[in-house]
Amino acid sequence: MSSFAHFTPLAASLPASVPFVGPEAIERSRGLTVKARIGANESGFGPAPSVLEAIGSAAAETWKYADPENFALKQALAAHLGCRPENFAIGEGIDSLLGQIVRLVIEPGAPVVSSFGAYPTFNFHVAGHGGRLVTTPYVDDREDMEGLLALVKRENAPLVYFANPDNPMGSWWDAERVVEFARSVPETCLLILDEAYCETAPDGATPAATALIDRPNVIRTRTFSKAYGLAGARVGYAISTPGNVQAFDKIRNHFGMSRISVAAALAALKDQDYLRTVVTSIVQARETIAGIARDNGLHPLPSATNFVTIDCGRDGTYARAIVDGLMEHGVFIRMPGVAPLNRCIRISTGPEPDMALLAEALPQVLRTLA
């Protein structure tokens, strides 16, 4: 298959890949239908009715571009989190913001520190900008902050990625320890503190939004994709110093935000009662998933996210067989990508019908693998 002969050497060297195979692609390739979509850490509980109403109202104005300065959303976030509007950068989900941060910091060949098995899309952006990924293993299924810090110092790395709570393991550190780690990162290294799952974390796990706001070498990323139920709307934001926020204006797509998505995010922020209801449902669903796992002789790991990671007790081949077997029953889940984390499967929380399908299908799949 031919392509333009004069792509950059970096682009020519990269594989054409998608970090996550979507359930739609699995349906197409395997001729199956997803009945329980509990693999992508979306919120099957959906957005608030007030958000859906706002989306409907905004649809009539979708012929307009969204405000390229994202003024209203920055104002709303500032009021909600106790910061200033100039502390926020808005982007098309955390994934887009991660790509922009890597672009701002990384030159070809520069070392970038992360955990081995952490969020693959971040690695995708590092490769896309020519960075050299350097990793340290998880310890007891948690990201190892001491290991990350040691690598940063050894490599004199300009960028380090750390997620709290963590994907794909669902683990977390308490806020005090996270702040201590952030303040230990050398000033020459930018820390990306990914807090995509902060709304589902227990009290004391997430530093206040203002806790690190004065540190130029810290950028925190958050999203409306998880607890707020807006994964398809693609709205994320970064929290940092005004100088760092202004740096995004040098490279971002100023008209990248959908007017409908911004309206949805504004409405979601206003409806905190609904958010609390959803978080309660997520906690209950985590307990349900953990119970289903134990009933089938598997070991659920503690979770601060909207998914539960389950230790299947063997290796990646066995875990993959469970993932594939569940898909035969229409239950879409995922698993970590590298050993030893890939001994596990990862199941997103969802409404009761999805949980019931999981409870019915899992023992059938395990019997075929016995």
Predicted local distance difference test score (pLDDT) of residue 18: 85
- Return the structure tokens found at 212: 């690190």
Per DSSP, the three-state class of 22 is coil
**pLDDT average per 10 residues of sequence, the chain (370 residues):** 86 90 94 97 98 98 98 98 98 98 98 98 97 98 98 98 98 98 98 98 97 97 98 98 98 97 98 98 98 98 98 98 98 98 98 98 97
Per DSSP, the three-state class of 136 is strand
Q: Model's pTM, two decimal places?
A: 0.97
Residue 35 forms beta bridges with which residues?
none
Task: Give the distance from CA 41 to its chain's centroid.
Answer: 8
148's enclosing H/E stretch is: helix 145-155
How far apart are alpha carbons 34 and 332 in whole angstroms? 6
Residues of the chain by 3-state class (helix, strand, coil), percent to 5: 45, 15, 40
Predicted local distance difference test score (pLDDT) of residue 312: 98
Predicted local distance difference test score (pLDDT) of residue 17: 86
Predicted local distance difference test score (pLDDT) of residue 28: 96
102's enclosing H/E stretch is: helix 93-105
Q: Which of 173, 326, 192 is nearest to 310 (CA)?
A: 326
Q: Classify residue 258 by its DSSP letter.
A: -
* Beta strand extents in the chain (DSSP E only): 36-37, 88-91, 111-115, 132-136, 159-163, 190-194, 218-223, 236-239, 299-300, 307-311, 331-332, 344-348
The three-state (H, E, C) secondary structure of 308-353, written as one string: EEEECCCCHHHHHHHHHHHHHCCEECECCCCCCHHHEEEEECCCHH
How far apart are alpha carbons 307 and 185 in whole angstroms? 29
Residue 61 identity: E
Residue 232 identity: G
